[in-house]
Amino acid sequence: MPDSYRNKLSVQKDSEHPFAQYVRILGKGKTGSRSLTQAEAYTAMQMILSGEVEDIQLGAFLMLLRVKEESHEELTGFVLAARDNIGAPVDSINVQLDWSSYAGKKKQLPWYLLSCFALADQGISIYMHGAGGHTPGRLYTENVLDELGVPVAKNWHAVEQQLGQNSFSFMPLEFMCPELQRIIDLRSYLGLRSPVHTLSRLLNPLAAPYSLQSIFHPSYGNSHQQAAIALGQQNAAVFKGEGGEIERRPEATCTVKLVTDGIASEEFWPKMVEGRQAQPESLNIQDLIAVWRGEKEEAYAIDAIIGTLAIALRLLNKADNQQQAILMAQTYWQQRNKNRL
C-alpha cells in the first residue's frame, strides 16, 4: 500500500468519510439496505462529480447499485446532479431531439446514424451524446463519425454551429462531463457496466422536448420511463435496440415505452421480417456511405433504418399510427440528401 494512501487512511480512521453513509445505505445486508431517495442520490452524485469521493468508495457504490439495479428515484437524482455539473447552455441552444449513444455496435453497423441524418435532412435538429472505448470489440459512434468525415463537437459553441449548419451534432461525454466518462472507463477494472451507462442516456442536457433512449435489458424500460417523467421530460421513447443502441431490430418484436405529454404508455411493434438475419462477417464503415448514397442495396440495413425512423417519427408526433410512421419514414429516406456523406 502506498505511504500516501496509508497516511490518508490513518488520518480518517477516527472519523467517518461523509460519503460512507451512501455506501452503507446500499450495502447494509438483505434486511437493512434500501434504495437511495432522490435527494440522497442527488447529493451522492454531486459529491462524486466534485471529486469528493475516494475511488474505493466509488467502486463499492457503483457495484452495489449494479447488483440491486438502480431505482427511478435514484436515476432522477443522479441525472439532476449531472445536469447541474454539466451546465449546458439550455437557453441559447435549441434542439428538438436528444439521442443518446453509449453502447457501441458489435454485430451490425450503426445504421441508426443514417436514420439520424435522414431526420436532420428534414430540418429536425438532433443532439447526440455518447461515450466510446469502454468495451473492447465494439464500434462507437465517435469513431464512425470520424471515418464518415462528420466532425464531433468538443464544446457547446461547436454544437450550436453544427446544429445550425446540418441539424445534427455529436458531443463525446469526455467533453460534456469528463468525470462521468472517467467512471464509465472504470468498466475495465470492475468488469461490469455501471449505473452511469444508464443515467447518461437520460441526461438530455439541452432540454430537448423529445428524447430517444435504448436499453440492453427490457427490465430497465420501466425505470427509464418513470425517471423521464420525474425529470419533467414530456415526450420520450425507450426500447431495446440492436446492441443496446437506438436502432430497430427488423427480425424482432419491439416494445416501446413512451412518455407522451408527460403520460406513460407503451406500443408493441411487430417484426418487420421473419427469420433471423445473417450477421455480416465484418463491419465495413464504407458500407454506410454506399447505402446512404444508394450505391449499395442491403435489405437488413434499409429495414433497420426505416424501422428506427418510424419509431422516432411516432415519438415526434409526426404520424398518428405505426403504418403512417413507416410510410413517412420511407418518404424521408427517399428524400435524403445523398451528398451529406
How far is the C-alpha of 310 from the C-alpha of 324, rounded, in Å? 8
The pLDDT value given to residue 159: 98
Q: Are 218 and 255 in contact (CB under 8 A)?
A: yes
The pTM (predicted TM-score) of the whole model is 0.93
Mean pLDDT of 73-98: 97
C-alpha distances (whole Å) from 314 to each of 225, 237, 320 are 16, 9, 7
Mean pLDDT of 163-174: 97
Asked if residue 177 has pLDDT above 60, the reply is yes
pLDDT-derived band at 69, boundaries 50, 70, 90:
confident
The pLDDT value given to residue 2: 53
Residue 167, sorted as left (phi over 0), alpha (psi -120 to 50) or beta, turns out to be left
pLDDT in tens, 183-208: 998 887 887 777 888 899 999 999 99
Residue 294: exposed, middle, or buried by beta-carbon count in 10 A (0-12, 13-18, 19+)?
exposed
pLDDT in tens, 236-295: 999 999 999 999 999 999 999 999 999 999 999 999 998 777 788 889 999 999 999 999
Ordered structural domains, the chain, with CATH = 14-86 (1.20.970.10), 97-334 (3.40.1030.10)
- Average pLDDT value over all residues in the chain: 92
The pLDDT value given to residue 322: 97
Asked if residue 178 has pLDDT above 60, the reply is yes
More confident residue, 148 or 197: 148
User: For the chain, what percent of residues have pLDDT higher than 90?
Assistant: 81
Asked if residue 8 has pLDDT above 70, the reply is no
Asked if residue 319 has pLDDT above 50, the reply is yes
Among the ranges 6-15, 85-94, 275-284, which has the highest mean pLDDT value? Answer: 85-94
pLDDT-derived band at 1, boundaries 50, 70, 90:
very low
Asked if residue 9 has pLDDT above 70, the reply is no
Least confident of 56-60, 140-144, 195-199, 308-312: 195-199
- Cell 445473417 appears where? 278
